[in-house]
């Protein structure tokens, strides 16, 4: 019996001592509460082991950014119900933990943050249609809700760093109609792109045609009969200098230009040139 009492006393002492040792982990801080003096506002306990009397209390707070997930049910601008899965990112300011302990307490998310999230979400989402929420206005809604949450929590040592809409749940009929509308819009945008490419290609061809037309006009304006005659004479002179056998008829062409004929290949060795002046033929042979 005596040994039993000793064992019971040892167990009771061990339990008492265990209740006096408080471990504060990395990323946490503690606020001490004394049964005689209340909350210790002058000191914040950092990570490590703290020994306190069993009748006192140490409240542990996380200083890291935390995520809380909420299921929200809201009404759109036309009164249709929409379900939303959202995430809220928040953290506390370590310098003001005693104030948070006194005014709100450790369950500050459910007491303080969550009600504001629900309230602001209902007000802001109620300005939009289901199509806007489901498609292209989600980021705008997130930014607007986050801005209003920060304004509401400005007087508390709590910072909301993000509000994210992870999923939007619409009635099946509405979701199908929205998806069909989005598909039609994408098809329309694709056709607009194809038409734009066609318009640019047509514009390119029109510019090319205008350039060719302008070039031809410049050439036609500068190709006079005197210029063409002079170019013909120069070409005749160059051909006459070549060693090939040929017949050159002076004045036989249009506008008095020479006419050049290839000679018989069999007579090429004779290197004969015939000059005809106004129907009379003169021959010079080697």
pLDDT digits (tens, 9 = 90+) for 42-96: 788 888 888 888 888 889 999 999 999 999 998 888 888 888 999 999 999 988 9
Residue 34 pLDDT more than 90? no
What pLDDT, on a 0 to 100 scale, did the predictor assign at position 1? 54
Partner residues linked to 75 by β-bridges:
81
Overall average pLDDT of the 26-34 stretch? 90
Residue 110 pLDDT more than 60? yes
Overall average pLDDT of the 25-41 stretch? 87
pLDDT band at 179 (very low <50, low <70, confident <90, very high): low
Residue 142 pLDDT more than 90? yes
**Cβ atoms 106, 81 nearer than 8 A:** no
Residue 256 pLDDT more than 80? no
The CA-to-CA distance between both ends of the chain, in Å, stands at 158
Distance CA 249, CA 261 (A): 8
pLDDT digits (tens, 9 = 90+) for 115-129: 999 999 999 999 998
Residue 8 pLDDT more than 80? no
Q: What is the dihedral of CA 257, 258, 262, 267, to 10 degrees?
A: 170
What pLDDT, on a 0 to 100 scale, did the predictor assign at position 65? 94
What pLDDT, on a 0 to 100 scale, did the predictor assign at position 240? 67
What pLDDT, on a 0 to 100 scale, did the predictor assign at position 262? 58
* Domain 66-175 homologous superfamily, CATH: Band 7 domain (3.30.479.30)
What pLDDT, on a 0 to 100 scale, did the predictor assign at position 147? 95
pLDDT digits (tens, 9 = 90+) for 188-209: 677 787 778 888 888 888 888 8
Residue 131 pLDDT more than 60? yes
What pLDDT, on a 0 to 100 scale, did the predictor assign at position 192? 80
Distance CA 80, CA 278 (A): 104
What pLDDT, on a 0 to 100 scale, did the predictor assign at position 185? 67
Tokens of 195: 């038409």
**Cβ atoms 75, 83 nearer than 8 A:** no
Overall average pLDDT of the 23-52 stretch? 86
For 143-157, 226-240, 249-263, which range has the lowest pLDDT when averaged over its residues?
249-263
What pLDDT, on a 0 to 100 scale, did the predictor assign at position 4? 46
């Amino acid at each position: 019996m005596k040994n039993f009492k000793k064992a019971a006393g040892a167990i009771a002492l061990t339990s008492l001592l265990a209740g006096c040792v408080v471990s504060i982990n990395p990323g946490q801080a503690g606020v001490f509460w004394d049964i005689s003096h209340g909350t210790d506002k002058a000191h914040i306990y950092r990570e490590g082991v703290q020994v306190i009397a069993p009748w006192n209390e140490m409240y542990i707070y996380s200083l890291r950014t935390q995520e809380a997930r909420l299921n929200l049910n809201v009404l759109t601008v036309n009164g249709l119900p929409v379900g939303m899965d959202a995430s809220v990112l928040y953290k506390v300011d370590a310098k003001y933990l005693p104030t948070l302990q006194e005014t709100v307490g450790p369950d500050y998310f459910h007491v303080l943050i969550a009600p504001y999230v629900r309230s602001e979400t209902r007000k802001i989402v109620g300005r939009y249609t289901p199509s806007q929420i489901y498609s292209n206005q989600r980021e705008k809604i997130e930014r607007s809700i986050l801005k209003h949450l920060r304004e509401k929590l400005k007087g508390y040592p709590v910072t909301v760093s993000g509000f994210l809409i992870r999923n939007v749940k619409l009635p099946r009929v509405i979701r199908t109609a929205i998806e069909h509308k989005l598909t039609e819009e994408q098809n329309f945008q694709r056709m607009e792109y194809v038409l734009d490419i066609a318009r640019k290609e047509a514009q390119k061809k029109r510019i090319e045609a205008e350039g060719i037309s302008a070039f031809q006009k410049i050439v036609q304006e500068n190709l006079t009969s005197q210029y063409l005659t002079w170019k013909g004479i120069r070409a005749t002179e160059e051909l006459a200098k070549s060693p090939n056998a040929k017949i050159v008829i002076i004045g036989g062409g249009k506008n008095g230009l020479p006419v050049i004929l290839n000679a018989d290949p069999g007579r090429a060795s004779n290197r004969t040139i015939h000059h005809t002046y106004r129907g009379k033929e003169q021959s010079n042979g080697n």
